[in-house]
Amino acid sequence: MRLHQPSAEIFIPDALPVDEALARTTHLCIAAHQDDVEIMAAEPILTCFQSRDQWFTAVVATDGRGSPRDGMYRDYTDEEMRLVRFKEQRKAAVVGEYAALVMLDYPSRQIKDAAFPGPVEDLTRLIQAASPQVVYTHNLADKHDTHVAVALRVIEALRQLPASRRPQKVLGCEVWRSLDWLIDADKVLLDVSAHENLQHALLGVFDSQIAGGKRYDLATMGRRRANATYFESHGVDVTSGLSYAMDLTPLLEDSEISAAKLVQEHIRRFEEDVMNRLKRCGTSLP
């Protein structure tokens, strides 16, 4: 497998040959940063954990150099931060028993440059090699520019594949913007009730982020619990953990639909839902 960055890395936790490891993939997550995978894609990780016929592969697009740092990591250089974040991501791949972990090692500026071809070409090769049933990436309403850029590069790569080689589903998941605002009919529900211990472990290996000043572990588990409880206002909880996703599959089914149009439609339906509720409740607002 040839990738553009000389420093790109493919890590296979069980030491299978790369081609064989990628080919067994059923669920593929493509994320911007180290730990984004574990934050947004717990459901497929849990689905594939210790399964004989379902396998999870993670792709991380950026090098992790620009992350905030504090505590024992305060004086780490960007290169030292890159190395520790790569090490943490490998640990997560071992804990989660991933089929493969691919770290493309691009600086964020290259991911955000739509005219730079490297990321799309790498992603196209990887998706062809893995041939996943489902692809997970960032949602298009995420408030982090690099996250949105990764999602757009993923869509571009998928659209270059013939229809027969495309995944059955493409889902945009929660990291820097929750998807509670989607109307319920638009939410893709990802049950993450099982293996809370494993979820904690997957998030906890990213010590450079947690001890370095960001409690992503507590925030992520809290959001999953909150989603489960606040999803239904007139019924008891049916899950103890829930993540939401935005269905991006229509962007593959119809290449005439733009990413912007898809998001605009979600926003329009959200606006209609809010305004209709105000009308039902007798608002006197103009």
Which domains are delineated in the chain?
9-253 (3.40.50.10320)
| Cα 133 to Cα 52: distance, rounded to the nearest angstrom | 16
Residue 285 has pLDDT above 80, yes or no: no
Residue 234 has pLDDT above 70, yes or no: no
pLDDT band at 263, cuts 50/70/90? very high
Can you tell me the mean pLDDT for 253-280?
95
Can you tell me the mean pLDDT for 53-60?
99
| Cα 179 to Cα 170: distance, rounded to the nearest angstrom | 16
Classify residue 195 as left (phi > 0), alpha (psi -120 to 50) or beta: left
Structure tokens that stand for 204 in this block: 């906890």
The chain-wide mean pLDDT, for the chain, equals: 95
Can you tell me the mean pLDDT for 243-269?
97
Residue 142 has pLDDT above 80, yes or no: yes
Q: Which residues share a beta bridge with 266?
A: none
